[in-house]
């Protein structure tokens, strides 16, 4: 239960972190603000969005790394299910198909079928060459 909750929180924090990193302006964007293009920075206060965005990004990054450590610690203590290919030292179970040797084939116990013993029907007489 705890693992699933942490995994969902990890996913939400990761998506929020990606979003906040993509929203932030680059370092060179402040040069345009000095020439009169910085009117949009007043949405987050007089100091602009840099302070709010930087703090939020650092908090989300810290949460991301802490959750990564917790999830890694939880999964490191669990035991994986064994794969059948991991232990190849086990003997292979032989199939129950009987093996017929050459001496058994040549023995008189095996009945032989002669061509004269096969009954011929009316449909087969047309196909038999003379």
Proportion of the chain above pLDDT 90, given as a percent: 29
pLDDT tens-digit map of 41-66: 555 555 555 688 889 999 999 999 99
- Per residue in 6-21, pLDDT tens? 999 999 999 999 999 9
Cβ atoms 25, 52 nearer than 8 A: no
How far apart are the C-alpha atoms of 98 and 105, rounded to whole Å? 13
Buried b vs exposed e over 70-94: b needs ≥16 C-beta within 10 Å?
Answer: eeeeeeeeeeeeeeeeeeeeeeeee
């Amino acid at each position: 239960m705890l693992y699933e909750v942490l995994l969902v929180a990890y996913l939400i924090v990761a998506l929020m972190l990606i979003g906040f990193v993509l929203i932030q302006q680059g370092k060179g964007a402040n040069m345009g603000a000095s020439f009169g293009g910085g009117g949009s920075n007043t949405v987050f206060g007089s100091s602009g969005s840099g302070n709010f965005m930087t703090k939020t990004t650092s908090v989300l990054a810290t949460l991301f790394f802490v959750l990564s450590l917790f999830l890694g610690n939880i999964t490191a203590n669990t035991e994986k299910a064994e794969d059948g290919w991991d232990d190849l030292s086990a003997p292979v179970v032989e199939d129950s198909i009987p093996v017929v040797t050459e001496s058994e084939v040549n023995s008189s116990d095996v009945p032989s079928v002669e061509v004269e013993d096969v009954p011929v029907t009316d449909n087969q007489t047309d196909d038999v060459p003379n």
